[in-house]
Amino acid sequence: MKKKVYKIKGMDCDACAKLIELDLEDAGIKASCNYAKETLEVELNDDKEKEKKVKDVIEKGGYQLTQN
């Protein structure tokens, strides 16, 4: 497993961060989201499909994802 860190724009509060974590968990991806730092840390196993899923989940929630 490797950890990847992304920047997330558009979160309004800690609840947004928790919702992102839960949405990713539902998609089978372990994640930790930090509202104050505007970061998302995910554990991936070099699976390009899961990387795309992370992006899709974030954008579906109305947030903007950029790679750190």
- Summarize pLDDT for 5-15 with one digit per residue, the tens: 999 999 999 99
Q: What residue ranges define each of the domains in the chain, with the CATH number in brackets?
A: 2-67 (3.30.70.100)
pLDDT tens for each residue of 7-36: 999 999 999 999 999 999 999 999 999 999
**What is the rounded distance in angstroms from the CA atom of residue 28 to the CA atom of residue 52?**
13
With contact defined as beta carbons under 8 Å apart, do 2 and 44 qualify? yes
Per-residue pLDDT, 68: 61
Res. 64: pLDDT tops 90? yes
**What is the rounded distance in angstroms from the CA atom of residue 26 to the CA atom of residue 23?**
5
Average pLDDT, the chain: 92
Per-residue tokens: 23: 């949405």
Give mean pLDDT, residues 37-61: 90
